[in-house]
Amino acid sequence: MALLTGDDYRRSLNDGREVYIDGERVYDIVNHPAFKPIIDVKARMYDMNHEAKYKDKLTVKLSDGDEICRAFKLPKTKDDLKGIRTYVETVLDDLGGVVYRVGDETIGEMWSLYDAQDRLNEIDPTYAENIKHHVARVAKEDLFHVSANTDPKGDRSKLINGEDGGTLLHIVAENDKGIVVRGAKFETAAAYAHQAFVKPTISNWSNSSVNMENYAVGFICDMGSPGLKHICRSPVGAGKDPVNYPLSSKFEEIDTLLIFDDVLIPWENVLFHRNLESAKYIRETVHRYSSYNYVLRILRRADYLIGAALLNVEQTGLTKIPAVQQKLSELINYRETINAHLTAAVSEAQLSSGGLMMPNQSLLYTGRVFALKHFPEMAHLARELVGGQLAVTPDMETMTDPQIKEYIDRFYSVGEWSAEERAKLLYFARDMVNSSYAGHQITFELFAQSPPFAQHAAVFNNYDLTPNREMVMKAANLSSSLAFQS
């Protein structure tokens, strides 16, 4: 199989998928104003893989001679992890903005399951074969693969299989062709992706007192499957003027409520089913690889915050004021701490049980918590440095209206910065920290890789507390006969 082109990708979306947005059924998703910008971004990513100047960074040849996208190569060495970083940075540099759910982040969730082949083999050897097949298939067929983790859960105080069980995704039938599933998932990019790894939601999968087997299911689902309905949220940026909204008009990623109305999942796409141990395992490890790609995006967002704040204070002559420098230094500290986590996570990378090279889990998960916890504070600092013009500047049509140009030039130009150039910078900063899209992105970042409590659980579960306990035992001369809770 070959690397897809942008046009191959566009054509592949014409598969009869059932997509709804703003009260209409979408029949031509590639040209629909809500989806066209982000589909064009993904198409550009596909085309980049064919350009001579990017080939080395974005693609790689496998031992069998097949050429695949660099982001899909199973990481076996630290250099492979560095290659992933180069991939993400090269793509984002070319695009001039940040997109998350474009395939490279979500492939890692299948690698987490690939690591569990031994355990899957004990349950049913076909599961291990299936995950190997799908990891290779995404790479060889260059598929746009996304991630479906979260169900609309209803009343959280009720048990998973109580009266609300019907809202959670579960198996309703099995036949010789496969399993039939019913339920729903939230999923960014589903409407314009090829397939998703659908897996159990966050829950207590160790609870053996209730019958949860029907919910413990993981599979690959084709996004054009009969019975699958994509119910999308309204756009907040797509369709807006690209001059006034340089980021939201291009990079908005549409989120979907994906309804599985008795969807048949063929056996070859079933990665596990009716198996609580697998459900528990995948929930514990799901972001083992993907959070690396995710935090790389937050790093790029931090870079844009610094750049937007810096250019604004430089043009207004504030850079030499120590208090302004201190604010910039806080932004730099934020950026460099994320960078340090990512860099150290690779230099201290660990071999997984499946023989893959995973970023150091403790350093990666603590980096993710740090990056997400402080982003709103840093966005606020950038907002403060850019100043109130961020919120009051008229759009470009007004700024360039010949009838009022004289006033605009007098009150908006500063030094070498024309009113028009200043407005462009303010529009960029607005889309980073002040537009509807900016607000949406902060919520996306907070939740898209699970909510904060689950991210803290990942930190707790991946940090080895033993040395800390032993250090204090020794220093405080505590009795070694004391018992501990594990």
Ligand X SMILES: Cc1cc2nc3c(=O)[nH]c(=O)nc-3n(C[C@H](O)[C@H](O)[C@H](O)COP(=O)(O)OP(=O)(O)OC[C@H]3O[C@@H](n4cnc5c(N)ncnc54)[C@H](O)[C@@H]3O)c2cc1C
Q: Are 115 and 75 in contact (CB under 8 A)?
A: no
Annotate 8-23 with DSSP letters as a single string: HHHHHT-S--EEEETT
Question: Which residues between 188 and 207 bind ligand X (CB under 6 A)?
Answer: 188
Q: Is 460 in the site for ligand X (CB under 6 A)?
A: no
Q: Is 148 in the site for ligand X (CB under 6 A)?
A: yes
Q: Is 320 in the site for ligand X (CB under 6 A)?
A: no
Q: Is 150 in the site for ligand X (CB under 6 A)?
A: yes
Q: Is 293 in the site for ligand X (CB under 6 A)?
A: no
> Which part of the chain contacts ligand X (CB under 6 A), choosing from 124-132, 282-290, 449-457, 473-481?
449-457
Whole-number Å distance between alpha carbons of 151 and 149: 7
Among positions 9, 87, 144, 186, the unique one binding ligand X when judged by CB under 6 A: 186
What is the Cα gyration radius of the chain?
A: 24
Q: Is 447 in the site for ligand X (CB under 6 A)?
A: yes
Q: Which is nearer to ligand X, 147 or 366 (CB)?
A: 147
Q: Using the CB atoms, write b or e for 405-444: b if 16+ within 10 Å.
A: eeebeeebeeeebebbebbbbbbbbbbbbbbebbebbeeb
Whole-number Å distance between alpha carbons of 24 and 45: 28
Q: Is 284 in the site for ligand X (CB under 6 A)?
A: no
Question: Which residues between 332 and 391 bind ligand X (CB under 6 A)?
Answer: none
Q: Is 147 in the site for ligand X (CB under 6 A)?
A: yes
Q: Is 453 in the site for ligand X (CB under 6 A)?
A: yes
The residue written with tokens 């420098």 in the block is 325
Burial of 20 (0-12, 13-18, 19+ CB in 10 A): middle
Q: Are 252 and 21 in contact (CB under 8 A)?
A: no
Q: Is 439 in the site for ligand X (CB under 6 A)?
A: no
The most distant pair of C-alpha atoms in the chain lies apart, rounded to whole Å, by 86
Whole-number Å distance between alpha carbons of 403 and 79: 58
Q: Which is nearer to ligand X, 232 or 331 (CB)?
A: 232
Strand segments (E) across 296-414: 350-351, 357-358
Q: Are 210 and 160 in contact (CB under 8 A)?
A: yes
> Which part of the chain contacts ligand X (CB under 6 A), choosing from 24-32, 119-127, 185-193, 210-218?
185-193
Q: Which is nearer to ligand X, 187 or 222 (CB)?
A: 187
Among positions 25, 63, 65, 156, the unique one binding ligand X when judged by CB under 6 A: 156
Q: Which uninterrupted H or E stretch holds 105?
A: helix 104-114
For residues 116 to 135, the per-residue mask of contacts with ligand X, x marking binding by CB under 6 A and - elsewhere, is --------------------
Q: Which residue is nearest to ligand X (CB)?
A: 149
Q: Which is nearer to ligand X, 232 or 349 (CB)?
A: 232
Strand partners, 265: 179
Question: Which residues between 59 and 118 bind ligand X (CB under 6 A)?
Answer: 101
Q: Which is nearer to ligand X, 415 or 451 (CB)?
A: 451
Q: Which is nearer to ligand X, 81 or 160 (CB)?
A: 160
Q: Which is nearer to ligand X, 3 or 21 (CB)?
A: 21
Annotate 235-277 with DSSP letters as a single string: PSSTTS-TTTSTTHHHH---EEEEEEEEEEEEGGGEEEES-HH
CA 70, distance to chain mean position in Å, is 17
Q: Is 443 in the site for ligand X (CB under 6 A)?
A: yes
> Which part of the chain contacts ligand X (CB under 6 A), choosing from 22-30, 279-287, 290-298, 441-449?
441-449
Q: How far is the CB of 443 from ligand X (least distance, A)?
A: 5
Q: How far is the CB of 253 from ligand X (least distance, A)?
A: 8
Q: Is 142 in the site for ligand X (CB under 6 A)?
A: no
Q: Which is nearer to ligand X, 144 or 417 (CB)?
A: 144
Q: Are 309 and 386 in contact (CB under 8 A)?
A: yes
Whole-number Å distance between alpha carbons of 284 and 239: 39
Q: How far is the CB of 233 from ligand X (least distance, A)?
A: 8
Q: How far is CA 238 from CA 252, 357, 402, 430, in A?
A: 6, 38, 28, 15
Cα angle 240, 242, 243; round to 5: 120
For residues 216 to 255, the per-residue mask of contacts with ligand X, x marking binding by CB under 6 A and - elsewhere, is ---------------------------------------x
Q: Are 243 and 420 in contact (CB under 8 A)?
A: no
Q: How far is the CB of 218 from ligand X (least distance, A)?
A: 13
Q: Is 153 in the site for ligand X (CB under 6 A)?
A: yes
Residues that bind ligand X (CB under 6 A): 101, 147-150, 153, 156, 185-188, 255, 443-444, 447-448, 450-451, 453
